[in-house]
Amino acid sequence: MTTAPTTIYRNDYLPPTYFIDTTELDFQLFEEGALVRSRLQLRRNPDRQERELQLDGVDLELRRLAIDGRELSADEYELGQDKLILRNLPEAFELSCETWIKPQENFCLE
């Protein structure tokens, strides 16, 4: 199920709460979809006080989430239909994520 498109304006954007220093992506492609593994090295933006990270995404199935190698339980993050929110994060950390996607069904161009 996809959500209705919403307009996001440039003035809606804020400076990032966390900077991404390194991104590693691994894609395993299958006939019915793709398994995507990501590893991000993040550090907090010193100009922002918040310790919340919001990652947007539509039609993703979250399979695994870890910080610094420790797998998170479902009560340690908030997973909505189109976003993932992590709170109370350290100054710097590695975020590992595994998701299942179906690119052949993606018609929302996101």
| pLDDT tens digits for range 81-101 | 889 999 989 999 999 999 999
Burial of 73 per CB tally in 10 Å (0-12, 13-18, 19+)? exposed
Q: Which residues contact 17 (CB under 8 A, 6 or more apart)?
A: 44, 45, 48, 50, 51, 52, 53, 54
Considering only residues 108 and 93, tell me which one the structure prediction assigns the higher pLDDT. Answer: 93
How many residues in total does the chain contain? 110
Q: What is the mean pLDDT of residues 68-88?
A: 93
Q: Which residues contact 95 (CB under 8 A, 6 or more apart)?
A: 38, 39, 40, 42, 53, 65, 66, 67, 86
Q: What is the pLDDT of residue 28?
A: 97
DSSP symbol at 67: E
Quick check: 12 pLDDT over 70?
yes
Q: pTM of the full predicted structure?
A: 0.84
